[in-house]
């Protein structure tokens, strides 16, 4: 089939630019596709080429680790739901806009042809009904794939209340699908988003995972000489939780994440620090949680996914339910289990080496490979560019024994705590 000719890229019309400004800004609260946060630059007046101020451009990562730029927008920020934490809720007093299917297709192709993006991240508020909204979202992906032979990356935010056949169609066109669980606990969801059903959300996740598994099994068993089996969301599914909008502590958040990873084999759980919104409901916090809390949750999530930690090891029952803000979770665990250290780099099993602060997965693999042919010397750590101040108190190697570094728990914790970050002064601030 020959793809229809794509018309020459023209600048978006002023009404379309206004929609883009509104619907790109409305999409910024979705953490599933993170912006790079670089300095603002443009090529106005002929100074260079390109811009970092284009509305709706964000960065995401493909399964093979490549960083890709995506057009990140909502189909519409009109919504019939009244989720208290959401700036786009039906009772919110914000500017509203709605794209047509053709407008999203045109924007995606125009940005793609200009080499501004490599794909599309599309979400939407709920209009008319979940099924109607999901039909519109899927139609955008269908037109891009079937009518324009678009090979770029597509991530669709799906609606759990939509008909199963619509979710199944979405997986035919999207590289990744996601369904937001929104909040870590059923109580929080019932209080802040009463129109959303946690059971329905998890049911939709289960159906998506069943389709993903079926497609992978079919691809493995397909005869080599036949056409490959149809793919279904080859980059898997992900979800997002809002942190700090309800009373859930970090232990509850990580327990929910561990359950989601185990039950639905999610590729990622994203954590989004609650951001106070205009005309907020009385039940919401007045201030956002510290951003470092979100950062610590991502670090803890990484420990569960790649370092063999269980969620209840990272935040044990007697720890008050919260991660330390001044220590990364791995260092906090190591300080609480000093009896397990120092680990001998020449003898310790992989499982223990992965728990040494400052040693990443690739570094551990290199150490294991090297010690098969020779002994590990402390100088090897310098050549591996590991943070020696964090690693050395917890390991032994040829040429190194912790000795004087075996401080008391509190003394070592003081040395390893993250220093307070100085505030960057504004060169143009008035005195």
CATH of the domain at 249: 3.20.20.70
Are residue 352 and residue 213 in the same domain, yes or no? no
Same domain, 307 and 366: no
**Token representation of residue 285:** 């916090």
Of 300, 319, 338, the residue at which a domain comes to its end is 319
Under DSSP, the state recorded for 317 is: G
The verdict on 114 and 199 lying in the same domain is: yes
Residue 161: inside a domain: yes
Closest-CA residue to 293 (of 327, 323, 252, 334):
323
Number of folded domains that form the chain = 2
Secondary structure E strands in 224-326? 237-243, 268-273
Residue 182 DSSP symbol? B
Task: Tell me which of 274, 298, 319 is where a domain ends.
Answer: 319
Contact 275, 29 (CB under 8 A): yes
Examine residue 42 and state whether it is found in any structural domain, yes or no: no
Residues 395 and 300 in one domain: no
What is the rounded CA–CA span in Å between residue 47 and residue 37? 21
The answer on 357 and 288 residing in a single domain is: no
The predicted pLDDT at position 219 comes to: 81
C-alpha to C-alpha distance for 329 and 314, rounded to whole angstroms: 7
**For residue 225, what are the contacts with CB-CB under 8 A and spacing of at least 6?**
none
Residue 60 lies in a domain: yes
> Do residue 287 and residue 350 come from a single domain?
no
| Residue 426 belongs to some domain of the structure | no
Is-cis flag, bond preceding 342, omega within 30?
A: yes
Residues 313 and 278 in one domain: yes
| 373 and 287 fall within a common domain | no
Buried b (16+ CB within 10 A) or exposed e, 127-140: beebeebbbbbbbb
Tell me the C-alpha distance between 50 and 52, whole Å.
7
Q: Are residues 62 and 98 in the same domain?
A: yes
* Structural contact between residues 293 and 244, judged by C-beta atoms closer than 8 angstroms: yes
Is 353 a member of any domain? yes
Nearest Cα neighbor of 130 from 166, 101, 176 is 166
Answer for the pair 280, 310: CB distance below 8 angstroms, yes or no.
no
Using CA atoms, how far residue 313 sits from 129, 184, 293, in Å, is 43, 19, 18
- Judge if 233 and 349 occupy the same domain: no
User: pLDDT at position 409, please?
Assistant: 73
**Alpha-carbon torsion (27, 101, 110, 42), positive or negative:** negative
Does residue 257 contact residue 315 with C-beta atoms inside 8 Å? no
**DSSP string covering 57-105, please?**
EEEEE-TTS-EEEEEEEESB---S---TT-TTSTT------B--HHHHH
DSSP lists the bridge partners of residue 154 as: 120
Of 267, 289, 319, the residue at which a domain comes to its end is 319
If asked whether residues 295 and 358 sit together in one domain, one would say no
List, in order, residues 6 or more apart from 326 with CB less than 8 Å away.
Answer: 417, 418
Q: Which residues contact 410 (CB under 8 A, 6 or more apart)?
A: none
Picking from 220, 187, 173, 182, the residue whose alpha carbon sits closest to that of residue 204 is 182
Q: How far apart are CA 89 and CA 87, in angstroms?
A: 6
Contact 183, 248 (CB under 8 A): yes
State phi, psi for 72 to the nearest 5 degrees.
Answer: -110, 110
Range of the domain at 118: 14-34+54-221+229-319
pLDDT at residue number 308: 96
For the chain (431 residues), the mean pLDDT of every run of 10, in chain order, is 46 80 87 44 43 52 62 94 91 93 95 89 95 97 94 93 95 94 94 93 95 89 64 92 94 97 95 84 84 96 97 87 94 93 96 97 97 96 94 95 71 76 43 39
Same domain, yes or no, for 176 and 308? yes
For residue 242, what are the β-bridge partners? Answer: 272
In a domain, 74, yes or no: yes
The per-residue DSSP string of 97-146 comes to: -B--HHHHHHHHHHHHHTTS-SEEEEE----S-HHHHHHHHHHHHHIIII
Task: Quote the strand ranges of 332-406, DSSP E.
Answer: 343-344, 395-396
Pairing of strands 153-157, 119-123: parallel
**In this structure, is residue 46 part of a structural domain?**
no
Is residue 386 situated within a structural domain?
A: yes
């Amino acid at each position: 089939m020959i793809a229809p000719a794509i018309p020459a890229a023209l600048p978006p019309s002023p009404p379309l630019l206004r929609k883009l400004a509104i619907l790109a800004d409305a999409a910024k609260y979705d953490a599933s596709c993170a912006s790079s946060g670089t300095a603002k630059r443009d090529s106005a007046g002929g100074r260079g080429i390109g811009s970092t101020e284009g509305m709706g451009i964000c960065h995401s990562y493909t399964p093979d680790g490549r960083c890709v730029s995506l057009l990140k927008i909502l189909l519409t920020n009109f919504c019939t739901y009244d989720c208290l934490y959401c700036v786009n809720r039906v009772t919110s007093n914000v500017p509203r806009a709605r794209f047509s299917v053709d407008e999203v297709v045109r924007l995606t192709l125009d940005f793609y042809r200009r080499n501004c993006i490599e794909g599309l991240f599309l979400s939407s508020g709920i209009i008319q009904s979940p099924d109607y909204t999901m039909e519109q979202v899927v139609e955008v992906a269908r037109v891009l794939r079937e009518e324009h032979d678009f090979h770029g990356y597509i991530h669709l935010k799906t609606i759990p209340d939509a008909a199963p056949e619509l979710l199944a169609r979405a997986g035919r066109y999207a590289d990744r699908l996601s369904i937001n669980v929104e909040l870590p606990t059923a109580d929080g969801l019932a209080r802040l988003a009463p129109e959303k059903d946690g059971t329905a959300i998890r049911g939709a996740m289960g159906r998506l995972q069943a389709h993903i598994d079926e497609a992978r099994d079919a691809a493995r068993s397909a005869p080599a000489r036949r056409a490959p089996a149809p793919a279904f969301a080859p980059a898997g599914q992900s979800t997002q939780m809002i942190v700090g909008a309800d009373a859930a502590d970090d232990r509850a958040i990580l327990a929910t994440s561990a359950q989601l990873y185990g039950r639905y084999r999610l590729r990622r759980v994203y954590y989004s620090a609650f951001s106070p919104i205009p005309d907020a409901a009385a039940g919401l916090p007045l201030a956002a949680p510290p951003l470092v809390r979100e950062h610590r949750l991502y670090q803890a999530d990484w420990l569960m996914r790649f370092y063999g930690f269980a969620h209840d090891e990272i935040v044990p029952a007697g720890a008050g339910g919260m991660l330390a803000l001044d220590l990364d979770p791995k260092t906090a665990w190591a300080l609480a289990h000093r009896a397990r250290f120092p680990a001998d780099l020449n003898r310790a099993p992989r499982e223990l080496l992965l728990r040494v602060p400052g040693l990443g997965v690739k570094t551990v693999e290199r150490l294991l490979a090297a010690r098969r042919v020779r002994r590990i010397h402390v100088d090897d750590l310098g050549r591996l560019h590991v943070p020696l101040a964090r690693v050395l108190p917890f390991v032994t190697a040829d040429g190194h024994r912790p000795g004087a570094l075996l401080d008391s728990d509190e003394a070592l914790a003081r040395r390893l705590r993250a220093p307070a970050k100085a505030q960057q002064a504004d060169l143009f601030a008035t005195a």
